[in-house]
């Protein structure tokens, strides 16, 4: 609170504040742009919702491939490692640019040239690599004695993974996963670099036309409104899990 | 006499350079309760793990019901359906209820329907005093209750042999009795068991055969009256004088 007070005081007392107030906090422009931003924000929300599901599928598949032991899967394991290493190394914005402009330019038969789709693919590939690592950490955290007792009961390796390891791993990684999803919610704004009319690009367009930056502040408020519930939900889950672990350790 | 249910001949097992089991011969007949005793590190757990094919063996043979299960062509999962194990640290699955812990393998491995698996598991849980905890998760149970649930989980597969590895060693002393009482009940029902234990009084009472392991060898074995009453080997006497 004190920090916020000081920050606001510094902002208000700064020499350029009058000018900034006019170009960033103009109520008329805010009221005028909020409807358009809201309708274009739907693009961000939709991207997030669709990508989120696909990211979970990609992440878990890659993590399971890396955790597999079967010799026949060795080439796939190598592929999974390369995928994670490469995709985590590329800045997400570059991947969005490369796929969003690159793939449609190839003019390949049967592949859509819709840049929004390719932006989504870029987000899925980029976040899939992160989420795969989160799942892998969860899988590694399940104690070997759990695997031994599943095998002693006659479960195959696949059954052990499916019924014993993965359910425990998933429970443990829910909080870090939600954290990644908060970050994804914000990164849907990256599609604006392709000129896709999401809330950010709309705000940019509006700002350029009217020579006023207020819409940027409005979009920021929209993103905050989207991420705060997820953040509170993550806190709640973490608190509940901590309480449960303490009960178990008693 | 019939052929033994479980027969081990000349078993040898080493980890790298270190020989952990050597020249182990053991015959377990149906209804036997074989107790493995010996100081920590003598190879009791390793022997039990080998019997369940959780560890590969270097030499020797293991026959179950006349069939050689140490043959590398045998599917270990098929053996594990017949040989149940309970570990020292119960190892129940924390994300499943007690009932689901007990029905997972019968449903997935034996292909029982949910209804059949559940009614069989409920019956055993009731019988062993866990009727109130059927739907609880393991973390709600005491250590003794968890270990009894782990025993029921193993029994639900209707194994022909049950291997128990120091199942009371991790329990508070006041909880040991309830678990041993369950094992006694199983022994009275002629369940064939091989168990590693430090509970000498229990072994003397319940065992049909006691084997003393020393540095990976079965140094001496026989009925409890003989092994505890008139041990042949100097080392057995030394061990017993330390633990009795
Ligand atoms: N996975 C392993 N790798 C190497 N050595 C092991 C392993 N498991 C057990 N040992 C060794 O084998 C010996 C017998 O161990 P164990 O069978 O656990 O004895 P016990 O159950 O009688 O205490 C010990 O010396 C132990 O250090
Ligand atoms: Mg041991």
d(CA A98, CA A87): 13
**Helices A92-106 and A115-140 meet at what angle, rounded to 10?**
130
Cβ atoms A221, A25 nearer than 8 A: no
Q: Which of the ligands is closest to the CA of residue B42?
A: 1
Task: Look at residue B216 in the predicted model and tell me its pLDDT.
Answer: 92
Read off the pLDDT of residues A45-78 as tens digits, 9 standing for 90 and up. 999 999 999 999 999 999 999 988 888 889 999 9
Helices (H) and strands (E) in chain B, counts: 9, 10
pLDDT band at A106 (very low <50, low <70, confident <90, very high): confident
Residue nearest to atom 5 of ligand 1 (CA): B15
Q: What is the pLDDT of residue A250?
A: 46
Kindly tell me if the per-residue pLDDT of A248 is higher than 70. Answer: no
Dihedral over alpha carbons B130, B124, B33, B179 (to 10 degrees): 0
Best residue among B16, B19, B21, B43 to mutate for probing ligand 1's pocket (most ligand atoms within 8 Å of CB) is: B43
Distance CA A14, CA B188 (A): 88
3-state secondary structure of B160: coil
Q: Say how many CA atoms lie within 13 Å of B106 toward its Cβ.
A: 24
A166-175 pLDDT, tens digit each: 999 988 898 8
Q: Is B15 in the pocket of ligand 1 (CB under 6 A)?
A: yes
Residues of A in contact with B104 (CB under 8 A): 153, 155, 163-164
The reply to whether ligand 1 has any atom less than 6 angstroms from the CB of B40 is: yes
As given in the structure block, the two tokens for residue A12 are: 């208000």
- B34-77 pLDDT, tens digit per residue, is 999 999 999 999 999 999 999 999 999 999 998 999 888 889 88
User: What is the rounded CA–CA span in Å between residue B145 and residue B15?
Assistant: 34
Q: Residues B139-169: pLDDT tens digits?
A: 889 888 999 999 999 999 999 999 999 998 8
pLDDT (mean) for B13-35: 93
Per-residue model confidence (pLDDT) at position B1? 56
Interacting residues of A98 by C-beta distance below 8 A, sequence separation 6+: A122
- Give the CATH architecture of domain A26-242: Orthogonal Bundle (1.10)
Cβ <8 Å between A154 and B109:
yes
The lowest-confidence range among A77-91, A150-164, A234-248, B79-93 is: A234-248
Report ipTM (2 d.p.). Answer: 0.87
Q: Where are the beta strands (DSSP E) in B101-239?
A: 161-165, 193-196, 209-214, 217-222
- Identify whether the C-beta of residue A60 lies closer than 8 Å to the C-beta of residue A87: no
A90/A83 Cα distance (integer angstroms): 11
Phi, psi angles (nearest 5°) of residue B141: -100, 155
Packing angle, helices A27-67 and A199-210, rounded to 10: 150
Cβ atoms < 10 Å from Cβ of A35: 9
Residue A146, chain B, CB below 8 Å: the answer is yes
At residue A249, does pLDDT exceed 70?
Answer: no
* Ligand 1 contact, B7 CB (< 6 A): no
Report yes or no: B53 and B79 within 8 Å, Cβ to Cβ: yes
User: How many Å separate Cα B65 from the centre of its chain?
Assistant: 17
The C-alpha atoms of residue B76 and residue B52 are separated, in whole angstroms, by 8
Q: What is the pLDDT of residue A134?
A: 95
Domain ranges, ordered by start, for chain A: 26-242
- Is residue B136 within 8 A of residue B147, CB to CB? The reply is no
Confidence band of A122 (pLDDT split at 50, 70, 90): very high
Q: Which residue has the higher pLDDT, B1 or A37?
A: A37
Check pocket membership of B26 for ligand 1, CB cut-off 6 A: no
Chain A residues 216-235 with CB within 8 Å of chain B? none
> pLDDT tens digits for B105-131?
999 988 999 999 999 999 999 998 999
- Residue A129: CA count within 13 A, CB half-sphere: 20
């Amino acid at each position: 609170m004190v920090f916020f007070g000081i920050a606001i005081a510094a902002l208000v007392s700064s020499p350029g504040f009058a000018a900034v107030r006019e170009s960033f906090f103009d109520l008329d422009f805010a009221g005028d742009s909020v409807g358009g931003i809201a309708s274009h924000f739907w693009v961000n929300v939709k991207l997030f919702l669709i990508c989120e599901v696909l990211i979970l599928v990609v992440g878990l598949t890659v993590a399971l491939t890396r955790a597999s032991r079967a010799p026949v899967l060795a080439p796939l394991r190598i592929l999974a490692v390369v995928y994670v290493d490469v995709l985590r190394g590329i800045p997400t914005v570059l991947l969005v640019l490369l796929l969003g402009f690159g793939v449609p330019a190839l003019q390949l038969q049967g592949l859509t040239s819709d840049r929004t789709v390719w932006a989504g693919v870029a987000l899925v590939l980029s976040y899939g690599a992160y989420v795969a690592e989160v799942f892998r950490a969860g899988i590694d955290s399940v104690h070997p004695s759990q695997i031994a007792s599943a095998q002693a009961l006659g479960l195959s390796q696949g059954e052990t993974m499916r019924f014993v390891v993965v359910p425990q791993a998933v429970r443990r990684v829910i909080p870090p996963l939600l954290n990644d999803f908060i970050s994804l919610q914000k990164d849907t704004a990256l599609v604006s670099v392709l000129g896709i009319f999401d809330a950010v690009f709309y705000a940019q367009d509006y700002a350029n036309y009217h020579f006023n930056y207020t819409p940027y502040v409005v979009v920021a408020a929209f993103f905050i409104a989207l991420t705060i519930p997820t953040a509170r939900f993550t806190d709640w889950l973490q608190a509940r899990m901590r309480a449960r672990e303490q009960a178990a350790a008693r | 006499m019939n052929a033994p249910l479980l027969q081990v001949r000349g078993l040898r097992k080493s980890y790298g350079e270190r020989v952990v089991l050597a020249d182990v011969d053991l015959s377990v007949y149906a209804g036997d309760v074989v107790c493995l005793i010996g100081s920590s590190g003598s190879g009791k757990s390793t022997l039990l793990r080998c019997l369940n094919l959780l560890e590969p063996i270097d030499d020797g043979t293991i026959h179950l019901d006349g069939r050689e299960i140490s043959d590398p062509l045998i599917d270990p999962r098929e053996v594990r359906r017949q040989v149940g194990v309970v570990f020292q640290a119960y190892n129940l699955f924390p994300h499943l209820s007690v009932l689901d812990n007990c029905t997972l393998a019968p449903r997935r491995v034996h292909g029982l329907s949910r209804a059949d698996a559940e009614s069989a598991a409920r019956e055993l849980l009731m019988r062993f005093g866990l009727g109130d905890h059927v739907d609880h998760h393991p973390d709600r149970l005491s250590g003794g209750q968890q270990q009894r649930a782990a025993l029921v989980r193993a029994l639900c597969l209707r194994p022909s042999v049950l291997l128990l590895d120091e199942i009371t060693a991790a329990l508070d002393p006041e909880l040991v009795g309830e678990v041993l009482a369950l094992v006694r009940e199983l022994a009275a029902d002629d369940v064939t068991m091989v168990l590693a234990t430090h509970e000498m009084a229990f072994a003397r009472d319940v065992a049909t055969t006691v084997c003393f392991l020393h540095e990976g060898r079965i140094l001496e074995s026989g009925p409890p009256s003989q092994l505890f009453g008139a041990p042949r080997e100097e080392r057995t006497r030394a061990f017993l004088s330390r633990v009795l």
